[in-house]
């Protein structure tokens, strides 16, 4: 039985006081039957790390460098993340791919480095609106999975969650229908079965990301291959993130 995994990606939002206020509300008013993660900006990691220490709330980072150290101005290494108590990192987010030019090969390098340093990975894949309208959604997603997981072992897959996030549904208010989302999740699971085994595919947690809200989370989570959510805007307020965390309470 796969345990539901709800992750809140705060993106470039919040000051330290705002972050503390949100985390306090989540811890005081939320429950953790499901696996729950928050991923603040780099500047808030230490503050949030101190606040969640000893709780069930997992601390994630939104990105990391391809290198452990050195002359990489503006970058953050996995060693720095580990030093702050970070447990997981989001890699391959569509905004990193589309705005900052991260390729499948760059994402693959980051996945290898994160796993080397015992960080769990939320590995993001997803197609653009143009690719979907051209009928290429499945091909694009399969290609991202194949290249992103190049030389990743079956054992290492135990530390990887895949997040399907159709680019056209992120921050737009549009959401893939539960049926459309589940279809792509099924494609991902079949690809993992071909790459590894049915057991690994069955155990894999696949999150959906793209305008997840309290009003649609139950329907999305009701689908056979949707095991969690990677939440953006709705993760920024306790009153919208807690109902998502507790969709099955």
- Active-site residue list: 93, 165
Angle, vertex CA 122, rays to CA 116 and CA 125, nearest 5: 120
**Helix-then-strand count for the chain, H and E:** 11, 8
- Of 139, 102, 138, nearest to 123 (Cα)? 102
Please state, in angstroms and rounded to a whole number, the distance separating the CA atoms of residues 208 and 95: 16
Please state, in angstroms and rounded to a whole number, the distance separating the CA atoms of residues 45 and 33: 24
**H or E element at residue 30:** none
Distances (CA, A) of 68 to 64, 148, 228, 229: 10, 19, 30, 29
Please state, in angstroms and rounded to a whole number, the distance separating the CA atoms of residues 205 and 229: 10
Q: Which two tokens stand for residue 225?
A: 């291959």
């Amino acid at each position: 039985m796969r345990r539901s995994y709800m992750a809140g990606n705060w993106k470039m939002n919040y000051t330290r006081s705002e972050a503390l206020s949100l985390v306090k509300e989540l811890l005081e008013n939320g429950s953790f039957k499901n696996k729950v993660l928050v991923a603040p900006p780099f500047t808030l990691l230490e503050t949030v790390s101190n606040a969640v220490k000893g709780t069930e709330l997992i601390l994630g980072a939104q990105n990391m460098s391809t290198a452990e150290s050195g002359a990489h101005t503006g970058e953050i290494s996995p060693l720095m993340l580990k030093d702050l108590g970070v447990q997981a990192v989001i890699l391959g987010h569509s905004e990193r791919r589309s705005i900052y030019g991260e390729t499948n090969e760059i994402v693959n390098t980051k996945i290898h480095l994160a796993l080397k340093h015992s960080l769990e990975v939320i590995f993001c894949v997803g197609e653009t609106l143009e690719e979907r309208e051209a009928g290429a959604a499945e091909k694009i997603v399969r290609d991202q999975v194949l290249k992103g997981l190049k030389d990743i072992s079956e054992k290492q897959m135990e530390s990887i969650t895949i997040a399907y996030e159709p680019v056209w549904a992120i921050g737009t208010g549009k959401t893939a229908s539960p049926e459309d989302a589940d279809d792509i999740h099924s494609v991902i699971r079949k690809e993992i079965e071909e790459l590894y085994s049915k057991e690994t595919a069955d155990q894999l947690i696949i999150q959906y990301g793209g305008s997840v809200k309290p009003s649609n989370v139950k329907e999305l989570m009701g689908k056979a291959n949707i095991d969690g959510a990677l939440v953006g805007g709705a993760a920024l307020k306790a009153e919208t993130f807690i109902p998502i965390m507790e969709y099955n309470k």
